[in-house]
């Protein structure tokens, strides 16, 4: 009886693991579909959020939960105040302001 319970428990764990892996992969794929490869490809939008994503400066459209652009700028290389601002998130209203901010952070 104990053996059957162990086999059933193992089967349930395998099904849960496969389900969670499938959900995670779907979210990664969905996120990558929204990413642009260059800052010039970011479209006009009524606001942007510049923040930390896995240690890099990333851009989100205001009000959306997925990134649109991830820079090659590591958060760790930023000056203290810039790093703190990015970790809190910087709201930018226009695309021009966004470009200027990203250029400043990247230099």
The more confidently predicted of residues 39 and 91 is 91
E-strand stretches of the chain? 48-53, 56-61, 67-74, 90-92
Query: What is the pLDDT, as a whole number, of residue 33?
Result: 58
- Indicate the domain borders of the chain: 1-34, 38-107
pTM, to two decimals: 0.67
The more confidently predicted of residues 18 and 41 is 41
DSSP state at residue 39: G
Nearest to 48, CA basis, from 73, 36, 26, 78: 36
Tell me: the pLDDT tens digits for 24-52? Answer: 544 544 445 578 888 778 888 889 999 99
Tell me: the pLDDT tens digits for 67-80? Answer: 999 999 999 999 99
Query: What is the pLDDT, as a whole number, of residue 55?
Result: 94
């Amino acid at each position: 009886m104990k053996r059957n319970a162990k086999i059933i428990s193992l089967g349930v764990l395998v099904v849960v693991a496969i389900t969670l892996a499938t959900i995670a992969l779907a979210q990664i794929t969905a996120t990558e579909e929204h990413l642009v490869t260059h800052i010039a490809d970011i479209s006009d939008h009524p606001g942007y959020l510049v923040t930390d994503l896995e240690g890099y400066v990333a851009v989100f459209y205001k009000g959306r939960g997925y990134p649109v652009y991830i820079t090659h700028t590591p958060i760790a290389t930023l000056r203290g105040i810039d790093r703190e601002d990015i970790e809190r998130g910087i709201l930018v209203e226009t695309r021009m302001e966004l470009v200027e901010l990203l250029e400043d952070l990247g230099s």
